[in-house]
Chains A and B, each alone.
Chain A
């Protein structure tokens, strides 16, 4: 870190909150474990049953895939028909680029709104929030026309632009809130040192890492899971996203529980995996705390 401004000395971290101990710790863990089970058991139930025969799914839904109940027919059907590897790459490119755009541009705009008291500040803030107040599907035909004019239909770039535009309001909204809380003395010290406003932005950005991570996850999820715009803007086989692929796949086998549970499981795994990888690298900021 080449930060020219060291955090003020009195902000050195002390162990203010003792580690929970004894009965209290037990209570905390009991609640957390209980809710973690509520959150995860339904997901496990689906995953577990996807490895079983159709009759076993129906008659003994709680049993794990024991010998005699196992059937992989769902997965076999899946891999025969769908090109999930390609869909996955498409989704990753779209979600990754849109998110990068949203975080960078959203942080810049949020910084400007939080930092400077300029004429019309609140109005710009309001303007940047208008987008989340109208159901986005209303604009479908207009968006399609724009993309068609730009010759971007059936390209991933169309999706990236639309998602970036859709994600920005929320990102600005949230980041602005957190950037207001960055200590002023820190920025003033930097200004006295003669740093430009742009460098101060890069100074502030790491300080709101938890919020950036949160926004990253928030914007990633709806993009990854969206069905509508892939369907309208990029339905071609080469540009299909994993969610669209999975949904069309589920549609085909809606009455075939093996394939349905298998495709549900396979559609969940990449998102959950991506989230875990993500939470490790980006949300590392969360555990270390903002101002360390």
Chain B
């Protein structure tokens, strides 16, 4: 009995002591000033560790930078909790629009107006990280991502296909791939829901609602989601269903990626951020085409979405060092380093950047041939509940899987939005 008791107490004591000792050791090891970056981009960990941070430390040897990513799904919740508890990192990767604006309004993010290199960014680049009065910028813009379609050039060659320019050509191409029977025409699944909205609705939508014009019309109240220009997008998406892989209802984002990179699907409705991964994994030639033009349209529009920026924790213990890092992020050195290390993330800087990756360059070229816009749910319209972006995920997945008609989808989204959003009275 005594044995049981003493071993029990001893074990408790040992473990509890270990709990104290382990962190103490860690505290005593202090070197140069260390700043931590909070980010949701855990895919980019190797790039930051091996390329970006070493380039910075070469210039500022006394500042140690630690890239500490969180899984994208937990990033917002974890970051909010850390800010509230006062333990967030020094540099904060900023989501666009309201999430970061909310952090700024609560006093968690510091303004970055006075950083020397901010003049390198135009108004569009800054628009996602600026107060409503347009006076204060609180994050240094990093990159945008462009939507379009990536295709398997080997399959296209084998079947004698050329990249479609118009929507009718697009469906002809899909038909031919389907008739051949060896490949899934489109790699898209509805299990994760966001794929349907982001790679589907926001990808082809700008051609229908005429980019910025239609996006701003929603904000000013001149247009509704039930208007023909928006319903037509869901009508087209509903037509994609026969061309998806069987079981697409349970197909998740990584499944879609693998389906394409293993050569089992011909066309991947994409965001440009896929370029790096696809280059690594695909054993075939790839090409890209912008969203095909619907019947009767002559101007093309692309979603060139301001996606990522970097701000500073207002309560950081190392403001000088953090500012040095942010300042460095405005330079052309960073712009070129970042755009080339992560092809598919296009620097928002005005400075000239040359891309080495041909596929990424294809996407970037569309900026000069098409008109750019951003995703229509991001600015202002996702401030209330039900949340517009989440609703778009749900109904777009519903339309593609045949659970909702395009009209029902539009009506549900519009009703939800009207519940809280009152456009400014004219």
Contact = CB atoms under 8 A, between A and B. Distances in A.
Contacts of B16: 97, 100-101, 160
B68 interface: yes
A244 B20 CA distance: 21
Given A2-B1, A81-B46, A144 B81 contact: yes
Contact of B8 (A94, A104, A148, A155): A104
B4 A255 contact: no
B4 A202 contact: yes
Given A160-B19, A252-B43, A141 B66 contact: no
A174 to B, nearest CB: 18
A154 B4 contact: no
B254 A255 contact: yes
Nearest to A238: B26
Interface in A64-114: 81, 90, 93-94, 96-97, 100-101, 103-104
Given A3-B1, A156-B23, A251-B43, A97 B85 contact: no
B101 to A, nearest CB: 21
A239 B26 CA distance: 9
A262 interface: no
A206 interface: yes
Given A205-B4, A251-B43, A256-B281, A141 B22 contact: no
B70 interface: yes
B33 to A, nearest CB: 16
A251 B71 contact: yes
Contacts of B66: 237
Given A144-B84, A144-B85, A97 B19 contact: yes
Nearest to B72: A251
Given A232-B78, A248-B42, A93 B85 contact: no
A153 B5 contact: no
Interface residues of A, number: 48
Interface in A182-236: 202-203, 205-206, 227, 231-232, 235-236
A1 B1 contact: yes
B257 interface: yes
B87 A148 contact: yes
B258 interface: yes
B262 interface: yes
Looking at chain A's contact residues, is the secondary structure mostly helix, strand, loop, or mixed?
A: helix
Given A141-B81, A203-B1, A235-B70, A153 B87 contact: yes
Contact of B258 (A160, A203, A257): A257
Interface string A137-164: 0001100110110000111110010000
A281 to B, nearest CB: 11
B15 A97 contact: yes
Contacts of B87: 144, 148, 153-154
A100 B277 contact: no
Contacts of B122: none
Contacts of A155: 19-20, 22-23
Nearest to B2: A2
B395 to A, nearest CB: 25
A254 interface: yes
B50 to A, nearest CB: 10
A196 to B, nearest CB: 13
Contacts of B72: 251
Contacts of A255: 254, 257-258, 261, 277, 281
Nearest to A142: B85
B261 to A, nearest CB: 8
B86 interface: yes
A58 interface: yes
Interface string B114-150: 0000000000000000000000000000000000000
Contact of B12 (A101, A153, A252): A101
A94 B18 CA distance: 9
B1 A231 contact: no
A94 B19 CA distance: 7
Given A100-B11, A104-B12, A156 B42 contact: no
Contacts of A236: 26, 68
A247 interface: yes
Contacts of B320: none
A153 B22 contact: no
Interface in B59-94: 66, 68-72, 74, 78, 81-82, 84-87
Interface in B1-50: 1-5, 8-9, 11-12, 15-16, 18-20, 22-23, 26, 42-43, 45-46
Among A94, A227, A231, residue most surrounded by chain B Cβ atoms (within 10 Å)? A231
Nearest to B15: A97
Contacts of A232: 78, 81-82, 85
Interface in A115-155: 140-141, 144-145, 147-148, 153-155
Given A81-B46, A239-B26, 10 more contacts: A54-B262, A58-B258, A97-B12, A97-B18, A100-B8, A104-B12, A141-B84, A144-B87, A156-B22, A157-B19
A-B residue pairs, 4 tightest by C-beta: A144-B85, A97-B15, A155-B23, A100-B12
28 contacts: A58-B262, A81-B45, A81-B46, A93-B19, A96-B15, A100-B11, A101-B15, A101-B16, A103-B8, A141-B85, A144-B84, A148-B87, A154-B23, A154-B87, A155-B22, A156-B18, A203-B1, A205-B4, A206-B4, A232-B82, A232-B85, A235-B70, A238-B22, A239-B22, A239-B26, A251-B69, A251-B72, A255-B257
Interface of A: 1-3, 54-55, 58, 81, 90, 93-94, 96-97, 100-101, 103-104, 140-141, 144-145, 147-148, 153-157, 160, 202-203, 205-206, 227, 231-232, 235-239, 247-248, 251-252, 254-257
